[in-house]
Amino acid sequence: AQSVTQLDSQVPVFEEAPVELRCNYSSSVSVYLFWYVQYPNQGLQLLLKYLSGSTLVESINGFEAEFNKSQTSFHLRKPSVHISDTAEYFCAVTNIGAGSYQLTFGKGTKLSVIP
Amino acid sequence: GAGVSQTPSNKVTEKGKYVELRCDPISGHTALYWYRQSLGQGPEFLIYFQGTGAADDSGLPNDRFFAVRPEGSVSTLKIQRTERGDSAVYLCASSSAPGQGELFFGEGSRLTVL
């Protein structure tokens, strides 16, 4: 069984400031890692994913996450946030080779960008 | 429509009643998932369909919960003898490539059991 821990339930940050949303996971097997985002009144959307290859992955709107196997982490970062980044962010994991590829999600981090 | 559609968006029912929640996935997506999200929690896996069959129902909490997908498209989640603890947002997601992790989620059905 795997689990995901998002240490911060809420993160307020001023516009144009940097932000890091933390995610740690636990699994006895190799995993794929994901960040999903939920904007107000919308469904969950995939933000970025790590499957293999480079441990640094990027999204189209400036977020990046780095897979750190030794620390079992997949923290999400952005150097300068915008008001439009206000949303709830969920880290998720799935076991490689798991038949159903079911995702295990963390509890989420609410990012509030302050003008 | 272009996205995953879930109906109803809100459902209020009384304890002990029967409830059906519907999911219309993206056309052509063979994989369909149901998740449940309680207040302050992340989504929790309930069941996975590949085509018409339930390939993994290990997340269903008990035998009051059942889901079908008879024609490999629309799915219905059925909850019998509802309890107050069933109150949550029920999310449906579909995918053409579940191994890549990209699930397309609907906006959810909020169930409130009084």
ω into A79 cis (within 30 of 0): no
pLDDT tens for A62-94 read 999 999 999 999 999 999 999 999 999 999 999
DSSP E strand boundaries for chain A: 3-5, 10-14, 19-21, 24-26, 31-38, 45-50, 56-58, 64-68, 73-78, 87-95, 104-105, 109-114
Q: Is the pLDDT of residue B43 over 90?
A: yes
CA dist list (Å): B23 to A9, B74, B110: 29, 6, 13
Q: How far is A107 from chain B (nearest CA, A)?
A: 4
The arithmetic mean of pLDDT across residues B45-67, rounded, is 94
With beta carbons under 8 A apart, name residues in chain B contacting A99. 55-56
CA dist list (Å): A10 to A28, A62, A74, B52, B53: 29, 20, 18, 40, 39
Tokens at B103, concatenated? 């699930």
B contact residues 6-65, partner A, Cβ 8 Å cutoff: 31, 33, 40-45, 48, 55-56, 59
pLDDT tens for A6-37 read 999 999 999 999 999 999 999 888 889 999 99
pLDDT at B1: 54
Minimal Cα distance from A106: which residue of B?
B42
**B91 CB near a chain A CB, below 8 Å?**
yes
**B101 CB near a chain A CB, below 8 Å?**
yes
Taking the C-alpha atoms of residue A52 and residue A71, their distance in angstroms, rounded to an integer, is 17
